[in-house]
A and B are shown apart, each in its own frame.
Chain A
């Protein structure tokens, strides 16, 4: 599909002055709750605490809606709201402004964050009702929303990274919310440390990109490397219309001058302008640049994706997400389903024009996404903790999103992000409702039969399962289908060290279909185990003497579930593919100005596309059929029999392929040994040197003391003594006898006369 020639022009921005309010309200809410929360909760009760929080979220959402309405008023070419507050710092070529920008992509993200965030805040009032540190929870939630908004609304890398780090921090704070339990605290630390690994790659990629854009080292005529100074600031370049007929139409092949900054920049819009507009020559320059023999764009893409791997829990940095389920369920829903983990996808989509220049980076991203999807889906088969199932499901679905942005279907990846946010939030909050109803029981083997007892939860959960499995008319079908279809029709991918691999796309498709089948299977397994059959819990309760029966959750929870479930279904409307209606899907049209990368796909007939859609649906059906057969009403003995027969395989998969153990044995042990070595080094060598310095000082001081005591004092005393002796001797001159004095005078006079006489 070719895109219009509007890419010729730099992004036209509309200057507004209210965008800073959107992140401000959550920040204020967090600040108030953090500073005064304890006292407010004690004096006015929890109602005030959550009112502040939810009020901040609602205000933020309303401003975001206002921005959205404003954006709709503009035609698609001009939908870019820019609000620059001030320049934070400028050092050499690095210029960082406190600026917020909303283009269609970040507008979508902002709406998701504020809308689902508000709903989850409302959910938390019910779920966390018994929590004494209520105020702390809401403060952290608001802080998280602030950081996430900074991430998506920041108009340059630095603000985005600030938000990136901020969500990592809030994730840690919220996962380890009940920090008195050392396991939960450890889970929080694990999330933070693994995130840091990713951030390291992100920073490296950022540095490399910045370096590659300007001020490169070139081999001069004398064979020596010379540093090329920065290009001048906004350069007027001549843009030639790419399509001759358009030029003839518009300005009769007249050259237009554009103001584009060429050179290293951290601002997304400037980056986009100088790369997408081919007449700047920057795209060509980047494609031909290599570092140590590796193409620089591939390296940048891979390194930035390492950051995404950490944040969005892709292989091999996925290990923190399942452990993150130690946090309260609203946290899992908001952070680890709808928002934070999608930051990686957002970043790749935002930088689509860079990734699209490098087939290697694209292939790498797509392949890792596919591998993760498959890997996580397989683990989800055997987990018993309902939240762990959903966690692995999240990892798997994120893999799908990366398949989407990897093969170049950027809008499809973003669409899956949107649909996933809705149905995963529904699933998590549904599981939260279930857990609450079962008095904090999370093991599915102790659930069952909840369909009759908690009908609202059951129906919303089922709707979300329908969506995630990809059955028609629910949103998951359209997004997942689009992704896999585009993966199949992408033959321009390359893989590191392998070069161009035309069939990588098809391989990814197969992996994706298998993962989709698995998705359907384990989701419906969790549904059947939880909601059908008879209730198996209650007797092994937490000290509850009565045989308690789970009940439906309060309205604050069920209303939120209903809203999200409806959203999960309705989100389908904006993604109906072109093959059905003849026009591009609404969301694709909306996102098109923000995703300027032109990616080529192989052309297939519409009938082929329908065939693949049918395959996708059948994959979902197959998964459902198996799940139903094995787990409906929890009566079948087949799961137990299969487990007994394939015990070895089951053990490996159940233990998550022992990835955590491998990490423990290698990375963790290695780090601890390194720490021990360094500690030894510090104690022995460094402290030894310091102590040696101290000892030397002491010795020198002693020497100085001795010198002072004997030499200096001796000299002084000697002078004093000799003065005394001289005085004693000279005292004898003063005899008091005049005759003696006269004698002296005479001798002196004679001496002078003699001297005068002898020495002429």
Chain B
């Protein structure tokens, strides 16, 4: 087991971000999209903490990370509420069916 450098963390968070993006863009289920958004946020969190440990020192990175977690939770709640509202309107939560923005 070698030394863990910053790069390792960055690669992992990039991977996470990529999977999250994939989920957001590809999945049809709205809840799955939300899960993807969580992944993206967690990837960003990981980035923040890693940079806080390896570059800036102190507790800035971690604190920032806490903020993001809170934010993610709130945002997930709101997102689910929106999905609920859409479900009550159209009786499904298929993202590819929500096309009223299309002209």
Contact = CB atoms under 8 A, between A and B. Distances in A.
Contact of B25 (A734, A736, A739): A739
| Interface of chain A, main secondary structure | helix
A756 interface: no
B33 A735 contact: no
Contact of B102 (A736, A739, A742, A746): A736
Given A746-B21, A746-B25, A739 B100 contact: no
B95 interface: yes
A742 B98 contact: no
Contacts of A739: 24-26, 33, 95-96
A752 to B, nearest CB: 16
Interface residues of B, number: 13
Interface residues of A, number: 10
B95 A737 contact: yes
B103 interface: yes
Contacts, number: 32
B101 interface: yes
Nearest to A744: B25
Which has the most chain B C-beta neighbours within 10 Å: A734, A736, A739? A739
Given A742-B25, A743-B25, A746-B25, A737 B103 contact: no
Interface string A726-759: 0000000011111110110010000000000000
Nearest to A741: B101
A738 B101 contact: yes
Contact of B99 (A735, A742, A746): A735
A743 B25 CA distance: 6
Contacts of B24: 739, 742
Interface string B31-69: 001000000000000000000000000000000000000
B21 A737 contact: no
Contacts of B99: 735-737
Contacts of A746: 21, 25
A740 B24 CA distance: 10
B44 to A, nearest CB: 14
A318 to B, nearest CB: 104
A40 to B, nearest CB: 93
A742 B23 CA distance: 11
Contacts of A737: 95-96, 98-99, 101-102
Contacts of B25: 739-740, 742-743, 746
Contacts of A734: 101-103
Nearest to A743: B25
A516 B26 CA distance: 139
A736 B99 CA distance: 4
Contacts of B100: 736
Contacts of A736: 98-103
Given A742-B24, A742-B25, A735 B95 contact: no
B71 to A, nearest CB: 19
A479 to B, nearest CB: 119
Nearest to A739: B25
A736 B24 CA distance: 15
User: Which 4 pairs between the two chains have the least Cβ-Cβ distance?
Assistant: A736-B102, A736-B99, A736-B101, A743-B25
21 contacts: A734-B101, A734-B102, A734-B103, A735-B99, A735-B102, A736-B98, A736-B99, A736-B101, A736-B102, A737-B96, A737-B101, A738-B98, A738-B101, A739-B24, A739-B25, A739-B33, A739-B95, A742-B25, A743-B25, A746-B21, A746-B25
Interface of B: 21, 24-26, 33, 95-96, 98-103
Given A737-B96, A746-B21, 19 more contacts: A734-B101, A734-B102, A734-B103, A735-B99, A735-B102, A736-B98, A736-B102, A736-B103, A737-B98, A737-B101, A737-B102, A738-B95, A738-B98, A738-B101, A739-B33, A739-B95, A739-B96, A743-B25, A746-B25
